[in-house]
Structure 1
Amino acid sequence: MCSPTRSDMTLLGSRGPRDDEMLTDGALGIVRMLHHKFDDARRALLLARETRTFGPDGPDFLPETASVREDDTWRVAGAGPGLEDRRVEITGPVDRKMTINAMNSGARCWLADFEDATSPTWRNIVDGQVNLHDAVSRVIEHEENGKTYRLAADRELATIVVRPRGLHLDERHVRVNGRPVSAALFDFGVYLHHNAHRLVAQGLGPYFYLPKLESHLEARWWDDVFTCAERWAGLPHGTIRATVLIETLPAAFEMEEILHELRDHAAGLNAGRWDYIFSTIKVLGAERDHVLPDRTDVTMSVPHMRAYTELLVRTCHRRGAHAIGGMAALIPGRDPATNERAFAAVRADKDREAADGFDGSWVAHPGLVATCDDAFSAVLGDHPHQLDRTREDVDVAAGDLLATGKTGGAVTASGLRTNVAVLLGYLSSWLEGRGAVAINGLMEDAATAEISRCQIWQWIRHEVPIDDGGVVTRRLVGDVLERELIPYALEEGIGSAEADARTSVLRDLVVRTALAEDLPPFLTSIAYAEHLVEAAAR
């Protein structure tokens, strides 16, 4: 294979000590090739998202793909080597310490997250690739506060499953003919180039989680990318395995079609609960009948969320795919009583998922791995999964997935303050380069910040009554915002230029993305373009 021509490719941003190892001709060559072949199609899919409309009642199952849903004969490729048992998966950013702790955690898989849990600074992205390369090579080490972290030699390490960034995101530090490349293609291509053959030699494979798909046509795009990349890299067809996060409301109506499009590469589906709630508000939020209460009341047992998870299990097992449950975001602390309540809540959540037929689930902290493992092992025993539970008893109609009005709960002043505080706290950390943040005992990431943002917008739009008096208005939210901004000014010194600049940026982002007349699709797209992109050319 000839060396890739890079005369039309420009790199921006700061240089790290190991960039030359990661940003090689080969790595950039596959990114460049994928960009030329697939970026126009990606942009067309994004335009289709913007122009797609639904009926007055919301999305429905597609009549034009009914034959796919009705055909009982097809199955997906299923688990690749090292993915047969997924009873507990840990998620987290791709920083060096997290990489080691996740691999050593006792979880069967690690979702190495370039998306919701990583602030996409240029250094975070490239250094994350370095960390994954070293983890796959089993040479990764990290020094911190006099302690050395390294991979354990006395236990089975977690199988790596990489989540590239979503289709809607650009990598503005890599440009071809002046146009930013797809962040998804950059994350995918660099990781595949450096690690695929080494993983196969280890008896594993290059595995991915696909985020925020909204249709089976987007799954078809990914399948074409996989097939093309396998040929480029000299890998047998089907070497790549993908698990799709069903974390948008439109995708919930196309689960079977998504698996069908990816059937030679599909390993399973995941119930991405937080993004799913975010998407539900985006799609249905303009209608007053679909106003959701405080986030704490939108549990997995409310009718529309239960319908979503039960349909996912039935769909997966009917097609030979793993069904992976949602993330437990609780973070163990130092108070024994608080920890006891937290562990009990996580155990109840995982017991429910295991009983419903899920084959595994997610946790956000190593301290929760054993709790999740125990819950699933109580049901699975020595079996790696429960694909034989086809859940023929499940019958979910479109109305069940849209039954947000049956959620119950209320909008409270405390819930409003929490949403504003979480949005500010996450944004502040994200802008400083941290994409997963512990706030009030929960691991918050981009998805939970998006829930907070969208709920604020929805409550303002409909002037929703507050359970403890009054209604949510733009003025009320503005007052809450100013009070919640005070601690950020105090940290820098009230009246200082630094405090004014910091609070101004945070205020501006909240006002533009949560208090605007129209709801912007994604908070992070705006914040990334304006605050994280480095302008200096290499």
Structure 2
Amino acid sequence: MSAVLQDRPGEGVETTQRVPGQDALLSAAALGFLADLHRRFEGERQDRLAARRARQQAFDAGALPDFRADTAQIRRGDWTVAPTPAALLDRRVEITGPVDPKMVINALNSGANCYMADFEDSTAPTWSNLLTGQQALRAAISGALVFEAGGKRYELRPQAEQAVLIVRPRGWHLDEKHVLVDGQRMSASLFDAGLFAFHNAHVLAGRDRGPYLYLPKLQSMEEAALWEQALAAIEDGLGLAHGQIKVTVLIETLPAAFEMDEILFALKDRIVGLNCGRWDYIFSYIKTLRRHRDRVLPERSQVTMVQPFLRSYAELLVQTCHRRGAHAMGGMAAQIPISGDEAANAAALERVRTDKLREVGTGHDGTWVAHPALIPIAREVFDARMPGPHQRHVARDDVHVEAEDLLRPSLGTITRAGFENNVEVCVRYLAAWLEGNGCVPIHHLMEDAATAEIARAQLWQWLHFADAGGQPLSLDDGTPVDFVLLERALIGLPSRLGDPRRIPGAARVSEAIGLLDRLTHADELAEFLTLPAYERID
């Protein structure tokens, strides 16, 4: 039942659900602030999303992404972004994760330089999760956050010993269905960023700690410009100086890789860096080029950062950022410790070390980890090879990336194990997500929405493609990749999962199987897995 909020500034603001503590966050003033953001920017947001759809239609018709002719002067120009604040000069190790109270405490206490509190890919956006996360961050910033469970009490270290907080709101494509303004769902981006800033911006600004944000899923400089307008409006509405809110942008879509200079330029008064969001980037490559038969990728395990199209993307990001005076952040190490198998654990940690050596050698100024146990490895690698707080002096003038370098597909195969792993990851992640868990350990990897999207998009593309002779793609053993193969994998999955009590979201596995089955059979690839799934939560 919708709970209309009475006596609020601005008529027509309502929530569709209530949870404990809601009124403390969604005060009359806070809701009025959010409603104003919605009314000012919703029209432009919808225009940007329509532009995405139009560009995708062109790609589906055979066009390929390319560097823009109309922005060549920006790429050629001699300009830099605003200076980086002292708190963000050394970002050699960043930990990421959801915004539940225990995670917030552990991440801030982890010894990482920064903690990206994630309202997007690792948080399932139930109303309770969102407001609990906002409450946890507000309490952490005030120093009052504690968490008790299983007889243990978790408390924050002194502020001087905590990681620097950076918050990732959800992307422009997502709505917040629990808040309606004039009968419309408001932007999830503006809800997350606006509510966080409303409650915390002045405290953080007083400590010279931002607020700092990570901006996800951008596809163009126009989308970056929309963020610039919205953040300037937030600053103005809260009485903050222009540029007080600093941002890092994740380059995690294929179109955005062709507009890195332009995105930096659109946000040049507040941007401090770009990040190689590798998992979403691979998903975006598949989704953007979904109708291009000659650019089908092999199974996920073979699509590593040493593949030419990913290496070119990382090198171009470093070169672009350093030319403009911004940080170039590396990507996520998704491995988690493996208990009970010393050899397997050592091998996993060595893969992390190798990955971080590649990043620091490429010229990145820092990297991401998903688990606190990986922080010492990442720090050791960067400390040994990056003695200063960053390496923006590494210009990478040797890098020369053309459009085709960013589009060249990986060579590889599809194995039966790879196909079945995609099915399992999709179903297990989706089942957990539907129950409110957005960050799920599967086979010693921390899976989030991005990695599940790779698996789901690959399944759709493999199943909907035929070779030049009209035959389906084949596994490396010659088995056709068709819907019979998918059906067998889905039917056999519950028995392979073993004891359902050990599986997060076990009660919704059947629902997840049904949803994946429908999504893979659909004639069109759904833009995001989380869009239809969002209608099934709360």
Same fold (TM over 0.5): yes
Question: 2:166 matched to 1:161?
Answer: yes
- Counterpart AA for 1:286: R
Q: Which residue of 2 aligns with 1:238?
A: 243
- Aligned residues of 1:26 and 1:193 also touching (Cα < 8 A): no
Q: Which residue of 2 aligns with 1:320?
A: 325
- Aligned residues of 2:90 and 2:113 also touching (Cα < 8 A): yes
> Partners of 2:342 and 2:494 in 1: how far apart?
31
Report the CA distance between 1:488 and its aligned residue: 7.1
Q: Which residue of 1 aligns with 2:446?
A: 443
SS in 2 for 1:82: helix
Change (3 A) 1:486 1:273: same
The normalised TM-score by structure 2 is 0.94
- Decide which of 431, 434, 437 is 2:434's aligned counterpart: 431
- Counterpart AA for 1:438: P
- Decide which of 41, 46, 49 is 2:49's aligned counterpart: 46
Report the CA distance between 1:136 and its aligned residue: 0.9
- Counterpart AA for 1:101: N
Query: For residues 237-386 of structure 1, what are the structure 2 equivalents within 5 Å?
Result: 237-334=242-339, 335-381=341-387, 383-386=388-391
Aligned residues: 519
Question: 2:14 matched to 1:10?
Answer: yes
- Counterpart AA for 1:441: H
**Per-residue CA distance 1:58-113 (angstroms, 9 max, x = gap):** 100000000000002x1112423411110000000001110000001111000100
> Partners of 2:75 and 2:262 in 1: how far apart?
7
Report the CA distance between 1:503 and its aligned residue: 4.7
Report the CA distance between 1:489 and its aligned residue: 10
> Partners of 1:503 and 1:333 in 2: how far apart?
25
- Aligned residues of 1:311 and 1:396 also touching (Cα < 8 A): yes
Report the CA distance between 1:332 and its aligned residue: 0.5
SS in 2 for 1:63: coil
- Decide which of 468, 478, 486 is 2:487's aligned counterpart: 478
Report the CA distance between 1:385 and its aligned residue: 0.5
> Partners of 1:339 and 1:155 in 2: how far apart?
33
Identify the structure with bigger relative contact order (alpha carbons < 8 Å, sequence gap 6+): 1
**Per-residue CA distance 1:399-435 (angstroms, 9 max, x = gap):** 000001xx22210100000000000110111111110
- Counterpart AA for 1:341: A
Query: For residues 372-521 of structure 1, what are the structure 2 equivalents within 5 Å?
Result: 372-381=378-387, 383-404=388-409, 407-462=410-465, 463-486=472-495, 491=500, 502-521=508-527
- Answer with 508-517 or 459-468: which moved more: 508-517
Q: Which residue of 1 aligns with 2:229?
A: 224
- Aligned residues of 2:432 and 2:508 also touching (Cα < 8 A): no
> Partners of 1:78 and 1:325 in 2: how far apart?
20
- Aligned residues of 1:274 and 1:451 also touching (Cα < 8 A): yes
- Answer with 334-343 or 502-511: which moved more: 502-511
- Answer with 216-225 or 482-491: which moved more: 482-491
Q: Which residue of 1 aligns with 2:73?
A: 67
> Partners of 2:499 and 2:123 in 1: how far apart?
27
Q: Which residue of 1 aligns with 2:469?
A: none
Report the CA distance between 1:154 and its aligned residue: 8.9
> Partners of 1:366 and 1:279 in 2: how far apart?
28
**Per-residue CA distance 1:319-372 (angstroms, 9 max, x = gap):** 011000000000002122111111111011011101111000100000001111
- Aligned residues of 2:431 and 2:509 also touching (Cα < 8 A): no
> Partners of 2:136 and 2:84 in 1: how far apart?
25
Change (3 A) 1:504 1:341: closer
Q: Which residue of 1 aligns with 2:30?
A: 27
> Partners of 1:92 and 1:75 in 2: how far apart?
31
- Aligned residues of 1:27 and 1:190 also touching (Cα < 8 A): yes
- Aligned residues of 2:179 and 2:185 also touching (Cα < 8 A): yes
Structure 2 unaligned runs (5+)?
A: 1-6, 466-471
The percent identity for this pair of structures is: 49
> Partners of 1:13 and 1:448 in 2: how far apart?
30
> Partners of 1:4 and 1:323 in 2: how far apart?
43
Change (3 A) 1:399 1:186: same
**Per-residue CA distance 1:157-182 (angstroms, 9 max, x = gap):** 11111100111111000001110000
- Aligned residues of 1:256 and 1:315 also touching (Cα < 8 A): yes
**Per-residue CA distance 1:25-80 (angstroms, 9 max, x = gap):** 232222111100001110111111111124835100000000000002x1112423
Change (3 A) 1:487 1:27: farther
- Answer with 6-15 or 391-400: which moved more: 6-15
- Aligned residues of 1:81 and 1:204 also touching (Cα < 8 A): no
Q: Which residue of 2 aligns with 1:495?
A: none
SS in 2 for 1:301: coil
Q: Which residue of 1 aligns with 2:131?
A: 126
- Aligned residues of 2:93 and 2:113 also touching (Cα < 8 A): yes
